Structure 1
Amino acid sequence: MAPQLRFTPFLLLRGFAAAKTCTNLTIPVNIESRQGLFKTIPFEGNLDATTFSQEFTNIGQNYSNVLLKDYQTVRGQYKISAKFCHPDNGTTSSVVQVLTHGIGFDKSYWDLPFNNYNYSYTDRAISHGYSTLAIDRLGIGNSSHGDPINVIQAQAEVEALNDITGLLRNGSVPSIDTSFHKVVHVGHSFGSVQSYWLSALYPDNTDGLILTGWSTNGTWLPATIASWNLHLARLNQPLRFGNSSNSGVLNLIKNDNQGEGLIKTILTLLQSVEVDLPNQDIWDVIATTEVGDLINGYNQTIEPLNYPGGYMAWSDFTANQYAFLLPGYYDLALGLFAERTKQPVTAGELLTIGSSPPSSSFSGPVLVVTGEQDAIFCGGDCYATGSAADSIPAAAEVAFPNASVFEAYIQPNTGHGLNAHYNSTGAYEVIQNWLEDHGLES
């Protein structure tokens, strides 16, 4: 039977801004992760990324098994970049929501600065009195990077998430002067995979699960990888992701000493009356092709993130829309913002994304929130179950045989990237109400 969840129409929530205090911090974590040791494969150019995609999506083989040589234990101390927020009244809730982003994003996914934070999940949680900790997953953003095949894998990221959770419970996180009675894990997509995985390995280290953009059906992962048309991150957005190995590309793009830098040349050419391109064509060339990604990051004052080969990114904004955004139900400017700020995925993550345990013994409450037309976990229609279940996400109930309650909520008019759609705040309110209804109030 479909769950009856409280729903506040998103139109009543638009323009809301929570009063919050936030601190950016770095959390040292110690991990010990038993994981795959894969054969070394080349990642020198974009054709190598294409070859990886071809092998990964080959229906006749399991590419993870093809590359697997052995198993290893990865040990070490790493740094996790995080953003801690709490209500702007000097109080810190005894319940903290740990927010884990998916592929292509970083911790800003939960507190998008676009349009005066109008899409901020953090603001909605803060308005209900919760504290939040949004993290850059291990290997991504401003967290520690590492070997993209044999270190930055799903299991290692789960171990980092588990260590952070223990530190929160013990009051041992730097710059957070409190311990938390309850920790709720909120994930999106790959972040939901990791939150689920944590609940399977360490069921006593979470008090509640909110899994957004998720189901247990991985049928459409190969189609997703194919649609991304993967490039090496350092070549796709060299001004943000570049490193010393492509310094020549960086110089070509940025060298404006003689007014001949590639960016200036492209813009001048497209705007030239001699070319006589309509404005729409100019926009299409810049915004919806790799040209836009080459320009992204230009004039930024931050240092490049220095991702080596083996870190990959989807090719351009068209691939972004296909996987994450439902046409007509998102702000085009926000889509372009997401493309400018996208983050990569490692080969190791893709090779291990399907390795999570088949079920979890977690005995607390579980809520799955997925967009009605999620392409990655529902193939574009979350209700297309052939009457086998109320929805594709609802079928995940079998993975939680001991859960105190399991419910699946389908957000209408929404694709995979739930937080980037017009009605995102409606889903946020469903989540906060559900937590309060199931013993996880702030």
Structure 2
Amino acid sequence: MAPGKISYILSLFCAFSSIHRANAISGGKCIDALLPVNVTAQNTQLKVSAPRNQQELTDIITRLTSETSNVTAEVTGPPVTNKATYKIWTRLCVPTSQDISKTVQLAIHGTNFDSSYWTFGGDGSKYNYVESSLKAGHVEGSWANEDERQGTGKSDKPDGITEVQTATDFEIAAELVKYLRTKPGGNEFNRVVGIGHSFGSAQLVDLLQKYGNILDATILTGFTAYLGGGLLTAFATDGWNIASAQNPKRFGSLPSTYIVTEGIVNVQQHFFRYGGYDSAVLEAVEATKATATLGEILTPLGGPALNYTNPVLVVTGDKDYGFCGGNCYQMVNGVNLVESTKRIFPGVTSFSTYIPANTGHGLNLHLSAPETFSKIQEWISRL
């Protein structure tokens, strides 16, 4: 990266209101806040009730992931407006010296991990996207932690069927992007780069489908446009449980519309590639996993981003189980599955990919993480 050309990374939902606390970090300061975010989203009326027990939830998951499933069509009703204000926990890390390019990364994680995802692990040089960016030598500022999106962590946990749906998720992101253009807190950002992981990447595609070039560049990690059976299989192997029953200590206050993966075996199957990670990392991920909702899994994600033309980078592990069926080098129309994602961005001319080796769905949880982080930073520096 050119001298002085430093990228920020800004947590999703950051900078709307009062600060709760500030924490020192090498190269800067992180600011935590629980912030109110106003949204108006076109959610979907779902003709489904909260599961009364685990058997009812298991039946929903089984039918949803069956090859001839029609459960989504069965439960989907007309659009319904969700107008609400949600308190979202955020962390913004500001470097000691502001970058010249004034680039901000907007990070969105997936459905099974909380704010630890982008900054997981005590060894910052290995697993921590924030810390490793500083230690790489081409960044002179600090990086922010990932957000705890709606329904997870310290953020509000509204109705898991009627409110926490994909439309509300990406509308919150849209409101933040617009806000970042208004010099929040006196911070001027000339470029907003979206970076998502898994479900978070799919949310970014939704965002771009509706709002076109709302982002100056987009990074999709743990994602492809593959429509094969791998995604359904991986989703089924998560062994979804009612969260309050699976871990009463952590999730006991949540209604049965909040769900979580069964156990460490399920997490390994979906997120890890054996031999490419430290076992302690797998154990820690199981201990800190977060929830999803029925509203999120029953509301479909968007299709092609026809009106988006800015740069795209797709970074997905070669052994990603969900988005590649365990082999991202499968060929579709002459290209591998990661490269085939270009088809949902027909207007994009600057399209790049990177496929880290011996890496499963959880990119930053593998031993390949340092090289992966470096590749992402190099791509941002060339924008």
Report the TM-score, using the length of structure 2 for normalisation.
Answer: 0.87
2:114 partner amino acid? D
Q: How does 1:2-401 map to 2 (within 5 A)?
A: 19-87=27-95, 89-91=96-98, 94-115=102-123, 118-126=126-134, 128-129=139-140, 132=144, 134-172=146-184, 176-219=185-228, 220-243=230-253, 307-352=254-299, 354-385=300-331, 388-401=333-346
DSSP 3-state at the match of 2:112:
coil
1:383 partner amino acid? Y
Gap change, CA 1:338 and 1:102, over 3 Å in 2: same
Q: Distance in 1 between matches of 2:94 and 2:41?
A: 31
Q: CA RMSD in A?
A: 1.9
Deviations 1:242-289 (A, max 9, x none): 12xxxxxxxxxxxxxxxxxxxxxxxxxxxxxxxxxxxxxxxxxxxxxx
2:232 touches 2:322 (CA, 8 Å); kept in 1?
no
1:100 touches 1:107 (CA, 8 Å); kept in 2?
no
Q: Distance in 2 between matches of 1:362 and 1:124?
A: 30
Match of 1:246? none
Q: Which runs of 5+ in 1 are unaligned?
A: 1-16, 244-306
Moved more, 112-121 or 135-144: 112-121
Deviations 1:79-135 (A, max 9, x none): 221111132x24366111111111211222111143356311112445524654632
1:110 touches 1:120 (CA, 8 Å); kept in 2?
yes
2:359 partner amino acid? T
Q: Does 1:410 align with 2:355?
A: yes
2:309 touches 2:349 (CA, 8 Å); kept in 1?
yes
Q: Distance in 2 between matches of 1:79 and 1:42?
A: 23
Q: Distance in 2 between matches of 1:384 and 1:339?
A: 30
2:114 touches 2:153 (CA, 8 Å); kept in 1?
yes
1:28 touches 1:77 (CA, 8 Å); kept in 2?
yes
1:216 partner amino acid? A
Gap change, CA 1:20 and 1:412, over 3 Å in 2: farther
Aligned sequence identity (%) = 30
Q: Which runs of 5+ in 2 are unaligned?
A: 1-24
DSSP 3-state at the match of 2:85:
strand
Q: Distance in 2 between matches of 1:28 and 1:125?
A: 29
Q: Distance in 2 between matches of 1:53 and 1:145?
A: 21
Gap change, CA 1:396 and 1:209, over 3 Å in 2: same
Deviations 1:328-358 (A, max 9, x none): 1111111111000000111111112x33133
Q: Distance in 2 between matches of 1:92 and 1:308?
A: 44
Match of 1:257? none
Q: Does 1:423 align with 2:368?
A: yes
Q: Distance in 2 between matches of 1:221 and 1:35?
A: 23
1:432 partner amino acid? Q
1:359 touches 1:398 (CA, 8 Å); kept in 2?
no
2:151 touches 2:291 (CA, 8 Å); kept in 1?
no
1:46 partner amino acid? Q
DSSP 3-state at the match of 2:370:
helix
Moved more, 408-417 or 117-126: 117-126
Q: Distance in 1 between matches of 2:70 and 2:122?
A: 40
1:153 touches 1:348 (CA, 8 Å); kept in 2?
yes
1:196 touches 1:209 (CA, 8 Å); kept in 2?
no
Q: Distance in 2 between matches of 1:21 and 1:117?
A: 18
Q: Distance in 1 between matches of 2:232 and 2:347?
A: 31
Instruction: Pick the structure with greater CA Rg.
Output: 1
Match of 2:10? none
2:124 touches 2:131 (CA, 8 Å); kept in 1?
no
DSSP 3-state at the match of 1:402:
coil
Structure with higher helix content: 1
2:192 touches 2:216 (CA, 8 Å); kept in 1?
yes
Q: How many angstroms does 1:177 deviate by?
A: 4.1
1:81 touches 1:136 (CA, 8 Å); kept in 2?
yes
1:24 partner amino acid? D
Moved more, 114-123 or 222-231: 114-123
1:411 partner amino acid? P
Q: Distance in 2 between matches of 1:92 and 1:363?
A: 25
